[in-house]
């Protein structure tokens, strides 16, 4: 009886130990694979990876080096992934999956020369602008946020535009195209003062001098009503 009982207990311990051992083994393998996956993912989120192909290195990168996003007085640098890859995991994975199309075009040489890149530049830029518009300039807001802006420290015109942009449901890319790369031929950088702007500011009863410093400030008379 006792011998049979010991055998049953020992058998259960072996089964339990084997089960735990197998679980730990697969957990260990999972951690290794997860770590390897994240390591590869992080490598693809570095600027050195982005400019490893000559399409980017020869066309986009030199332009970016001449902008304030690359070099500035504060030493804060926004790299390619900062602007083009979401930081949130789910959005990042969607972006990576969509980027697989770029591998196909890399293989067939869609923009493997400067001439091809220039010819297709407007299409590529408009695609990026549409994506940023759709996400409410999500990646821009990783660094630039309306809530963190000190409007009073900005130039009068910039402060006014940023203040009213929120009321007009404007997003960063609506105004700030071509700040890290040259604009495609035929596309003019936004400088404010469009008919839409004037109509809106007129509806808000804003005086001209608030945008145009050379315009006189009109004093409103108090009639005592």
Q: What pLDDT is stored for residue 172 in this prediction?
A: 92
- Quick one: what percent of the chain has pLDDT higher than 70? 83
Q: Read off the pLDDT of each residue in 76-102 and give the average, rounded to a whole number.
A: 90
Distances (CA, A) of 148 to 15, 143, 168, 192: 59, 9, 19, 22
Say how many CA atoms lie within 13 Å of 194 toward its Cβ: 10
- Using DSSP, state whether 147 is helix, strand or coil: helix
Radius of gyration of the chain (CA): 28
Cβ distance 163 to 152 under 8 Å?
no
Residue located via tokens 């091809």:
116
Alpha helices in 44-151 (DSSP H): 47-50, 54-55, 61-64, 80-84, 89-108, 114-134
Q: What pLDDT is stored for residue 140 in this prediction?
A: 93
Q: What pLDDT is stored for residue 156 in this prediction?
A: 72
Q: Which residues lie below 8 Å from residue 108, measured CB to CB, with a gap of 6+? A: none
**How many other CB atoms are there within 10 angstroms of residue 138's CB atom?**
16
What confidence tens digit (pLDDT) does each residue in 156-180 have? 778 888 888 888 888 999 989 988 9
Q: What is the pTM of this model?
A: 0.75
Alpha carbon 63 to its chain's center:
18
Say how many CA atoms lie within 13 Å of 108 toward its Cβ: 5
Q: What pLDDT is stored for residue 24 in this prediction?
A: 81
What confidence tens digit (pLDDT) does each residue in 95-144 have? 988 888 888 888 899 999 999 999 999 999 999 999 999 999 999 988 89
Q: Read off the pLDDT of each residue in 183-211 and give the average, rounded to a whole number.
A: 79
pLDDT band at 206 (very low <50, low <70, confident <90, very high): confident
- Quick one: what percent of the chain has pLDDT higher than 90? 34
pLDDT band at 223 (very low <50, low <70, confident <90, very high): very low
Looking at 32-46, 71-85, 102-116, 148-162, which range is the least confident one? 148-162
Token digits for 179?
């700040």
Q: Which residues lie below 8 Å from residue 199, measured CB to CB, with a gap of 6+? A: none
pLDDT band at 7 (very low <50, low <70, confident <90, very high): low
pLDDT at 16 over 80: no
């Amino acid at each position: 009886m006792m011998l049979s009982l010991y055998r049953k207990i020992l058998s259960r311990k072996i089964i339990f130990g084997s089960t735990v051992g197998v679980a730990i083994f697969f957990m260990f393998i999972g951690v290794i694979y997860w770590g390897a996956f994240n390591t590869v993912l992080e490598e693809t989120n570095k600027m050195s990876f982005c400019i490893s192909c000559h399409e980017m290195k020869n066309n986009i990168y030199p332009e970016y080096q001449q902008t304030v996003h690359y070099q500035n007085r504060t030493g804060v640098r926004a790299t390619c992934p900062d602007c083009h890859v979401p930081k949130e995991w789910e959005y990042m994975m969607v972006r990576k999956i969509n980027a697989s199309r770029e591998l196909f075009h890399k293989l067939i040489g869609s923009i493997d020369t400067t001439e091809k890149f220039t010819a297709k530049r407007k299409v590529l830029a408009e695609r990026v602008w549409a994506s940023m518009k759709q996400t409410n300039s999500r990646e821009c807001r990783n660094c630039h946020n309306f809530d963190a802006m000190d409007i009073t420290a900005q130039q009068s015109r910039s402060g006014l535009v940023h203040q009213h942009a929120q009321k007009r449901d404007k997003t960063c890319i609506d105004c700030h195209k071509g700040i890290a790369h040259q604009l495609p031929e035929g596309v003019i950088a936004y400088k404010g003062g469009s008919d839409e702007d004037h109509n809106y500011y007129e509806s808000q009863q804003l005086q001209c001098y608030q945008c145009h410093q050379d315009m006189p400030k009109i004093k409103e008379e108090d009639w005592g009503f």
